[in-house]
Each structure stands twice: as C-alpha cells, then as structure tokens.
Amino acid sequence: MKTASFIFGFFALILLFAMQGCGGDGPSDTPVKETKVVAEKDGSKTGTATPEKTESKSEGEGEEKQAGEPEEEPDPIDTGPIPFDRMWPDHPLAEKLLRDPEKDEVYSYWKNARKGDWLRFLTHQQQIALMTVVEKDGDALKVEFRHFDLKGQEEKKDKPDIRPYSIKEDDEIMKSSLLNNPYVTRSIAKWKVYNGDKTLDCEMRFVDNPTGEKNENLYSWDVRCGGFVKMRRGNFTYITLIDYGDAENPPTWENLKAQDMLNFWYVHNVFTGEPVILQSDPPEGEMPEMPEDCVPPELAEMMKKFESAIGSGLSKALSDKKFAGAASSLSETDEILEAALEYAKANNFKPAIAEIGKVKGLAAQVSAAFKEENGEKAFTSLEALRNLAGRMYVSLNYTPEKKD
C-alpha cells in the first residue's frame, strides 16, 4: 500500500485540476471571445453559438477596386468578453441548482460548511476517504483527511493530515471554470446515496474536451463539506460519494460492507449515462467472496508486479503505439496468474479460481490486440482487464497499491 503522504498529495493534485479547469486545460487568463456556451432545453448536450460578424467601413473610403480584384473580408467588431449566457435546461431545479457565476453570490460549495461537517467517499484506489471540517473562521476552513481500507481499518500516519481551504478562493475557481472554459456544459443529475433511500439533486459539469481528457464533476448543495459527489477525469473516477453528515450525526461503520461498496464503486466507475459493462454481463454477477486471510507475502509481491504490468506504462505504450514492447511485457503476467491460480486451487478458493480464469482470458485478448497493433481493441480490452483485475484482487483478499 502506498504511503499516506503520496496518496494525499496525488489526490490533492487531481482535485485541484478537476476544480480549476473542469476540462483538462484549466481556466485561461485571456477572456473568451466570440463564443457562448448554450445548454439545450433537454439538458443532454450543448453547442456553441457565434455572434454574427458585423461589417464596418471607414469614413471616406471611396477608392474603387479594380476589376477582378478580390473583396477584402471585413473585420468583426471587437465587443470584448461575451457575458455568461443563462439558457438553462428545461428542468424545474435548473435555476435553483445551476447558479449564475456572474452574480455576486458565493458559488463555493464550502460556503455553508460548519465545524463537524463530514463526507466519506471511495477513491480510485478502492479506499475509503473521510473528510471532516475541524475548524472554521470566517471564510477560512481547516479540513482533516483520513483514509481507511474497505473493512474500516484506518491507515496509520505520523501526524494528522489537516489542510487549509479558503471559501473566497474556491468561489473564484468555481466561477472561473464556468466563465473561462468554452467546453463546460451543465445539467441536473440524480445521485442515490449508498445504502440508503436518500437521493441528491446535483449540478453536473461535463467537459468533452477536444484537446484532452473528458471529465465530469457532480456537486450537491446538501453536502456542506465541499459539495463533492463524484469526480471523474479520463479513465478514473477519483471521488464516489458514500455518505455525509454533520457533528450531530458522526459517521458509523456498521452499515458499510466491503463487497457492497465495491459493487457501488463499479456502477459509478463510468461517465454518467454510460452503460456499466459489469452490470450488463450476467456471468460476472456480484462481487466474489473475499477470503478471511490476506494473500501470502510472496504472492502479494507478484500481484504488485501484475498491477504494474497493466498500469499506466501500458497505456503510454498504447498512446505511443509501441505495440511490440507492450505485448512482450504482458506475456510476463502469465506466470503470475498461474501462481495465483495454484494458490487458489490449493486453498479451494472457488470464487478466486473463477476470477483468475477470466483475467487470464482477457489478458490474452489484450496481448493479441497489441500484437495485431489494433489500438482501439487494445484500449477497450485493457480497461475491461483492469476492472476484472479488481474483482480478482477481492477474491484473493489482496489490497492493490495502484501506483499508476
């Protein structure tokens, strides 16, 4: 497992990117000109509207053009930054939730936070993160971060991880990401809280960035501790809300079950509205049963190597089109999976035997796609392999490090 400082630092960096740019490139210092962000009435997608060009002629322009001389294109009038266009989707909650960033009201989802407010969420490392407001002085906040495994065992650290937040600065970031990013679109999204009947009405900011990774962020005004509900960037969902509360209702642990939370994480590990592959594939079923004992150290080391083999290095090889080297590194995972299979058979771990078999089959497909230099097939099968690997880790009671 990675050290706490690395995990917290990485999460903080991703969180900053997600909040600042909402679209990969971050807010620009140059005012956006000649472009309006327009939300269609159904709230499903948006387009851009470009103001009409206005021709202008200087007084005294009387020199006639020679026959056959091409006409000069008139320059558009520079009217400065275009104001934010409040054209909301046709939804009764749109005007309430999709606040106007040009108004003086505070847009930060921290604005109503009080000491003792908290939220819990699942990370992309399949850990539980707990954020708690430990101090509030005007618009200045201090928030403590704690991490737990899926069984509720807290990760040890030398000292508390307490971070400062400024409501004023966050307000500027939240408004800037709307006013300066021409690709951001907004709509209303529903979120059913884990293991409960409560449903949150959320603001969803989505960016289909043509120059980078698409991403989406879901926020709820009911979650006073930052408003965070979901944050997904590219192929990773960094925040998946479990529950939230205040000082009078502190978090409890008896209602959390590891397998149920993993199921919940898999369901939301896609962009909102996309189909969930594992749900639609009947052979997958529910998450496999987890053995009581963790994998032995020697097998754990092999699993770390397997994680690395299918990690970000493979994605980079795919983007760089270095197919041959990637196929070669994948072939090295065969021995690891065979060792895991022998361990599962020796202990009669039937769920693990089944999951390892699926992973072996899909790893072969990924390897074949790289050998065929089929980039699209390699990308799709690699994502599916990583999801199946997560099920395999559970079936072996192995906690992944997720270095990538």
> Residue 321's domain is classified under what CATH number?
1.20.120.290
Is residue 109 over pLDDT 80? yes
In a domain, 61, yes or no: no
Q: For residue 72, what pLDDT is reported?
A: 53
- Residue 315 placed within a domain: yes
Are 200 and 225 part of one and the same domain? yes
As a whole-number percent, the residues of the chain with pLDDT over 70 amount to 73
Tens of pLDDT along 179-203? 888 888 888 889 999 987 889 999 9
Does 145 share its domain with 265? yes
Specify whether 250 is located in the same domain as 191: yes
CA–CA dist 316, 326 (Å, integer): 9
Whole-angstrom distance, CA of residue 131 vs CA of residue 125: 16
Q: What is the DSSP letter of 154?
A: B
Q: How many domains is the chain partitioned into structurally?
A: 2
Measured from the Cβ of residue 105, the count of other Cβ atoms closer than 10 Å reads 11
Q: What is the mean pLDDT of residues 131-155?
A: 94
**Region 165-180 average pLDDT:** 92
pTM reported for the whole predicted model? 0.53
Residue 286 is assigned to a structural domain of this protein: no
Residue 119's domain spans which residues?
4-18+107-280
Question: How confident is residue 90, by pLDDT bands cut at 50, 70 and 90?
Answer: low
pLDDT in tens, 269-327: 888 877 665 444 434 556 778 888 888 999 999 999 998 888 877 777 776 777 777 76
User: Do 226 and 370 share a domain, yes or no?
Assistant: no
- Lookup result for tokens 């290095």: 313
Of 280, 308, 342, which one is at a domain's C-terminal end? 280
Residue 17, pLDDT > 70, answer no
- Domain shared by 375 and 346, yes or no: yes
Please check whether residue 366 is in contact with residue 330, taking contact to mean a CB–CB distance below 8 angstroms: yes
